[in-house]
Amino acid sequence: MDRPFLDLSPCGPLRGALRVPGDKSVTHRGLMLLALAEGEGRLFYPLKAGDTLSTARVLRALGAEIAEEGPHFLVRGRGLRLKEPEDVLDCGNAGTLMRLLLGILAGQEGLFAVLTGDASLRRRPMGRVAAPLRAMGAQLLGREGGNKAPLAVRGQGLKGIRYTLPVPSAQVKSALLLAGLFAEGATEVEEPVPTRDHTERLFRHFGLPLWVEGNRIRTQRSGPFPAKDLVVPGDFSSAAFFLVAALVTPGSEVVVEGVGLNPTRTGLLSVLKAMGADLEWRVLEGEAGEPVGWVRARHGPLKGVAVDPGLIPLMVDEVPALAAAAAWAEGETYIPGLAELRVKESDRVAAIAQNLRALGVEVEEGEDWLRIRGGGVRPGEVEPFHDHRIAMAFAVAGLPVGVRVWEPGWAEISYPGFFQDLKRLCAAS
């Protein structure tokens, strides 16, 4: 069978301004909370891509009305009570959808649902949400004792628990906070290291119960709450590819506008700065409690660094983009703390190592670390391993010299139009 590919010829300087699609994490959560709210609310400038369209489809099967209004979504919520779906709920490729939805469905008393996903999602660990949800009283069954989808859930009366996250995961934290909205008593999550806090910010936006003390986040059962419009900022994770593309391509200068700059997402900026990157950014406004602004990146020399493992949860989806920058840096970059990358859409540690080697870069791979010897790449072929971030990161790594990207369509999971935007900025020079 012929596999699709895209040949990117060597790109001259990238120049110009760009708005990236809406934030994926905020879109998933905005749709879910509006589906649980009472009345109609609009989600302005959401991400409409593979993952979030899966969320819209699944929420419709659970009785929410979701209409498209140009680029926006108009959602009529169910007032906390979802409808029993008539068929299996297909979460596609979206881990965030499956894990957060398990939290919501666990507390929908009497409602039965089966969740599945594509081959990648069916390989990913769900025990991390199933175990604490069961401790709250959830009834959950699935492959490997509830660790792998397909998963069946029958909603129950839940009881709040106190839970310390064993892995830094905003998805686990969010699943428990969402379940806590339906549980008796308080639900408290302690996170040893900070992870993205979009759920907390959206709870505040919708006036849902929330207390944060240091690294402890608490909620409790909520009564019906009214829908409220929400503006979705641009996705920093999508912006990251263009920032790195500009940093590694001689003569480039790119500005990404209207992008979310939530500090629990922007760890990459600190690491790139430490590498000597010519980067500037400003927060200009807030939307739904999320800081939004612009970031400018100019090409210049980069040097290798040893990354602080504590920063990884604040840039967990940007490690493939960082690896692309490291390939062009002078000297060695050491990236520890990568255990979680092994259980993403692909084994990202292995996928990064393999693609760097395919582009002629020397790399050492440990169980949870990478050591990348920089100095530039040579033309080659990139294998996404069915993973959007790998496809985009290595398109960028190879951009200055030209690269073939196999199955470029994977980028559409989080960024429809990625390659068009890339070509437009290259052509603008």
Ligand X SMILES: O=C(O)C1=C[C@@H](OP(=O)(O)O)[C@@H](O)[C@H](O)C1
Residue closest to 236 by CA, chosen among 277, 268, 278, 193: 268
Looking at 51, 317, 387, 421, which residue is catalytic? 317
Asked if 317 touches ligand PEP (CB under 6 A), the answer is: yes
317 is catalytic: yes
Residue closer to ligand X by CB (options 236, 328) is: 236
Residue 222 binding partner per list ligand X, ligand PEP, none, with a CB distance cut-off of 5 to 8 Å that depends on partner kind:
none
Residue closest to 48 by CA, chosen among 81, 70, 15, 79: 70
Q: Give the other-Cβ count within 10 Å of 328's Cβ.
A: 22
Asked if 171 touches ligand X (CB under 6 A), the answer is: yes
Residues 81-120 that bind ligand X (CB under 6 A): 96
> From CA 391, how far away is CA 416, in angstroms rounded?
12
Please count the helices (runs of H) and the strands (runs of E) in the chain. Answer: 14, 24
Backbone CA torsion sign across 398, 400, 403, 405: positive
Strand order in the sheet with 403-406: 5-8, 403-406, 380-382
Stretch that binds ligand X, among 32-40, 104-112, 167-175, 260-268 (CB under 6 A): 167-175
Tell me how far, at minimum, the Cβ of 223 lies from ligand PEP, in Å. 29
Amino acid at 8: L
Can you list the alpha helix ranges (DSSP code H) found in 62-124?
95-106, 119-123
Of the residues 241, 349, 414, 418, which one makes contact with ligand PEP according to CB under 6 A: 414
Can you list the alpha helix ranges (DSSP code H) found in 37-155?
50-61, 95-106, 119-123, 127-135, 143-146
Residues 380-399 that bind ligand PEP (CB under 6 A): 389
Asked if 219 touches ligand PEP (CB under 6 A), the answer is: no
Residue closest to 102 by CA, chosen among 63, 53, 158, 50: 158
Asked if 174 touches ligand X (CB under 6 A), the answer is: yes
**Residue 322 burial (10 A CB sphere; 0-12, 13-18, 19+):** buried
Asked if 21 touches ligand PEP (CB under 6 A), the answer is: no
Tell me how far, at minimum, the Cβ of 88 lies from ligand X, in Å. 23
Annotated binding site for 3-phosphoshikimate: 24-25, 29, 169, 171, 317, 344
> From CA 100, how far away is CA 259, in angstroms rounded?
24
Of the residues 61, 97, 170, 176, which one makes contact with ligand X according to CB under 6 A: 170
Are the beta carbons of 28 and 55 closer than 8 angstroms?
Answer: yes
Asked if 25 touches ligand X (CB under 6 A), the answer is: yes
Annotated binding site for phosphoenolpyruvate: 24, 95, 124, 171, 348, 389
Residues 75-94 that bind ligand PEP (CB under 6 A): 94
Residues 37-56 that bind ligand PEP (CB under 6 A): 51
Asked if 238 touches ligand X (CB under 6 A), the answer is: no
Instruction: Write out the residues near ligand PEP by the rule CB under 6 A.
Output: 24, 51, 94-96, 317, 344-345, 389, 414
Q: Which residues are catalytic?
A: 317
Instruction: Write out the residues near ligand X by the rule CB under 6 A.
Output: 25, 96, 169-171, 174, 196, 316-317, 340
